[in-house]
Chains A and B, each alone.
Chain A
Amino acid sequence: MSQAPFARRELTVTGMDELGAYRVLRVSDPDGPEPQPGQFAMLAAGEHWGGGEDERPYLPRAFSIARRSGTESHFLLEDVGPGTRRLCELRPGDRLWALGPLGQGFSLGGRDSDRRRRAILVGGGVGIAPLAILQDTLLRAGGGPGAGADRVTVLLGFRDGPRTHGAALLREARVASDDGSAGHHGLVTDLLQEELRDDSHAVVYACGPAGMLEGVRALCASAGIPAQLALEAGMACGFGACFGCVVPRRGGGYLRVCVDGPVVDAAMLEHVEEHAGGAGGIE
């Protein structure tokens, strides 16, 4: 994994693109290490971060790195609270603090048997972000799992029409929507079930809300299919120092999402619980 510089970097916003209900934040990050797909960064706006009316947002927010394009890093945002709202307000030329890349990304070296499996990428909502850089990497790779476009299948689920525009972040995605406004009317796990019925020689990489991840985990466990899950969590430090962002691990005890994850082997979890990540008010 790439080791992050031990200091947050002051970056410059180069763009903020609308993607339906989401925004793609683009920043110039010429000195940032190349991230592994699934790694994240802790972000805070350069101005108006803390000290406002109720002094929130206060903590930096954890975001998956959605894409690297030259020296730019891209992040997918959804305005769901004071921190994400402030980040959505940023405009080209504004300053951004970033610490990262952090955490364990998707394991692509994998077992030999995984390399010959079809890669199925399953995303939900704003959780599709790390799957974009993963798809880029898989399509570039010569010999990794799912190498070659015909061996990567992308399944994305969204709540409603405005959010389905997020599918444009990836290539050739099959879409499901809760309200039937685009693609399959239902859950993205319905699509996964179909895909696995057709060809179960697969490895699954997933990121999204806890309910979706639990559905993916359960499907893959019952079919004996290896799965890697990228967990979402509010965090305070992002590098293992505070023990705040924990989720229960199979067999007892906890995993820290920031350093043991965010990507974990699904077999390490008994269940993916709602409110996984162990933090509140950090949105």
Chain B
Amino acid sequence: MTLDFCGLTLAHPIINGSGTFDAIAARRAFGEQLRAAFPFAAYVSKTITLEPRHGNSPPRLWEVPGGLINSIGLPNKGLEG
């Protein structure tokens, strides 16, 4: 399953979409199990903006045929946070 992707050698072809997975929150929920069985070959972090952002007001998720539309709004503590 190993492949080359933009100069990276990945163990398998699954990576998370941008902004969809807060690994810190997942580690809080699952502890060391997450590190031992990390599901992605490469990790795309959430966005950090210069200023803090609360993100969009809800609703942020909507299930649609075949998937999910999300509009989270880049919540983050800002560069200094």
Contact = CB atoms under 8 A, between A and B. Distances in A.
Interface string B11-38: 0000000001111011011110110010
Interface string A80-112: 000000000000000000000010000000000
B61 A278 contact: yes
Interface stretch (A3-11, A22-30, A125-133, A166-174): A3-11
Contacts of B64: 56, 281
B22 A4 contact: no
Interface string A232-249: 001111011111111110
A241 B21 contact: yes
B33 A254 contact: no
B29 A234 contact: no
A49 interface: no
B78 interface: no
B28 A278 contact: no
Given A241-B21, A246-B60, A4 B29 contact: yes
Interface in A34-72: 50, 54-59
Interface size class of A (residues with CB under 8 A): 35 or more
A43 to B, nearest CB: 15
Interface in A175-225: none
A245 B25 CA distance: 14
Contact of A239 (B20, B25, B37, B60): B25
B65 interface: yes
Contacts of B31: 3, 6
A59 B63 contact: yes
Interface string A245-278: 1111000111010010000000000000001111
B60 A278 contact: yes
Interface in B21-78: 21-23, 25-26, 28-31, 33-34, 37, 54-55, 57-68, 70, 72, 75
A261 B54 CA distance: 18
Given A259-B28, A279-B62, A280-B59, A243 B21 contact: no
Contacts of B63: 56-59, 234, 279-282
A236 B30 contact: no
Contacts of A237: 21, 26
Nearest to B75: A243
Contacts of B20: 241-242
Contacts of A277: 58
A192 B65 CA distance: 42
B30 to A, nearest CB: 4
14 contacts: A3-B31, A54-B65, A55-B65, A58-B63, A102-B29, A234-B63, A236-B68, A241-B20, A241-B21, A243-B22, A256-B25, A279-B60, A279-B61, A281-B62
Give me the 3 closest cross-chain CB pairs, A-B, nearest first. Answer: A278-B58, A240-B25, A6-B33
